[in-house]
Amino acid sequence: MKIFVMTIRCLAVLTALCLNNQVCLAGEQTKQENTTRKAKVHNLSPIAPKASEAFKRQNDDLKKLMLQLYQCNQKDLLKSTKVSAEELVQWVFEGPFGWKFEAIRRMQSVDALSLSFNEQYQGDRILPLITGLHTMLVSAYGGENEFKFTKTISPKHLYDAAHNIEMTRFKLINPSNDVHHFNANCTSEQINEIETTFTNIIKRTNQYVQSIDHAGSMRESIVSVDYSSADFIKMPY
């Protein structure tokens, strides 16, 4: 009887050891597989999200930026409408106009951006500024419009768009360049919020350049803008 009990105990111990060993082996194998997977991922270029998904985040920030600018530039708002800033933003982004507004002579992309800083222009400067940024980014992300993205994306077009957005930010925020008083009535907190929104848009654009530029041709070009000589880069639309 004692021999039988001892035999059962030995078998139980052996079984436990065997099971523990299998668990250990399985755990080690999983760890090795994870390490290998991470190494493979590390050597691959980042996977780019769909252009439509990437642009949606940009579009959300453009809406935020337009509202932020109108909140401390009521005179510009009144040049376009008598409704609230929120209502105008909705009208601009969701209206049936295809971003071709008669008030700014149907201008888009860099042409609209340039109009917003034109000393001779007396209209609402925020409308052409947002129109220019929006239509320029749609084109850079390979879109026919903000809902349909079918064109091949050029890393250079995205980089040029990031450059133009940075130039717009600089012209708006830098007091010495604020000849049109975009921020004359903005509090320091509002200016910081506007700058943060611009920074997010620029960063997101540069990240998308890197995610699709597998050859690395543009990575050395994503650098700070030389404000003393830089201007808007002309882009197709």
pLDDT digits (tens, 9 = 90+) for 98-157: 999 999 999 999 999 999 988 899 999 999 999 999 999 999 999 988 889 988 888 999
- 216 pLDDT tier (thresholds 50, 70, 90): low
Mean pLDDT of the chain: 79
List the one residue out of 138, 107, 128, 109 whose CA is nearest residue 233: 109
- 228 pLDDT tier (thresholds 50, 70, 90): low
Q: Which residue has the higher pLDDT, 82 or 27?
A: 82
Question: pTM score, two decimals?
Answer: 0.76
> Are 180 and 117 a contacting pair, CB within 8 Å?
yes
Q: Measured in whole angstroms, how far is the alpha carbon of residue 106 from the centre of its chain?
A: 25
> Are 113 and 90 a contacting pair, CB within 8 Å?
no
* Secondary structure class of 212 (helix, strand, coil): helix
For the stretch 94-103, pLDDT in tens is 999 999 999 9
CA distance 230 to 174: 14
Q: What was the pLDDT predicted at 175?
A: 61
For helices 109-116 and 126-140, what crossing angle results, to 10°? Answer: 160
> Are 190 and 130 a contacting pair, CB within 8 Å?
no
List the one residue out of 160, 102, 157, 167 whose CA is nearest residue 128: 102
Task: Say what percent of the chain tops pLDDT 70.
Answer: 69
Pair of tokens at residue 64: 């935020």
* Secondary structure class of 121 (helix, strand, coil): coil
Q: What was the pLDDT predicted at 123?
A: 93
Phi, psi for residue 53 in degrees, rounded to 5: -70, -40
For the stretch 28-71, pLDDT in tens is 445 445 544 443 444 444 455 788 999 999 999 999 999 999 99
Mean pLDDT in residue range 194-214:
90
Phi, psi for residue 224 in degrees, rounded to 5: -65, 145
Place of tokens 């064109």: 151
* Sequence-ordered strand ranges (E) for 31-125: none
